[in-house]
Amino acid sequence: MGGGSSKELAAAEVWPPGWLEIPEGPRLIARTAILTISSMTPDEFCAMSGAPYCIPADQWDFAEFHAAAAAAVQEDAKINKLTYACVPRRMDESDFWRLYFSKVLYILDSVKQHGTYPPPVAEPSAAPPPQQPSEEDRGCLVQ
């Protein structure tokens, strides 16, 4: 059977889902964006709970991300400061990591789909040009 190396299997257990699918260049973009999460203020971080990409609490299983959370703390020492500012004063540890990985997965999705983060903003569709009044309509306007 052609399984992956033990190093790849260990990485798959530590990194968030989809991490290993991203090529090296876009992965660097994702990593840089992920490292900015720890620079958020506690208020900014807590506000993510209302973001459309936030994993609903009833669909969150911290056990699935425990190894990735431990790796995040080792990768980004500043995450501890944010954790201590939020847990337990504002939320429990599981909710902290739910918000954190909601943002991480949003970043990964953006990088996988668009090659960048933040995702490009969709341009509002241009309004059709105003129609010129016909001669008949203009005749009604001029009296």
pLDDT in tens, 3-27: 444 444 455 556 777 788 889 999 9
* Residue 53: pLDDT over 70: yes
The answer to whether domain 6-120 has CATH 1.10.3970.10 is yes
CA distance 6 to 18: 18
> Would you kindly state where each structural domain of the chain is located, as residue ranges?
6-120
pLDDT in tens, 91-122: 999 999 999 999 999 999 999 999 999 998 87
Going by pLDDT thresholds of 50, 70 and 90, the confidence category of residue 1 is: very low
CA distance 49 to 54: 6
Q: What are phi and psi of 4, to 5 degrees?
A: -75, 170
What pLDDT, on the 0 to 100 scale, is given for residue 19?
Answer: 83
Residue type, 132: Q
Q: Estimate to the nearest angstrom the gap between the alpha carbon of 132 and the chain centroid.
A: 45
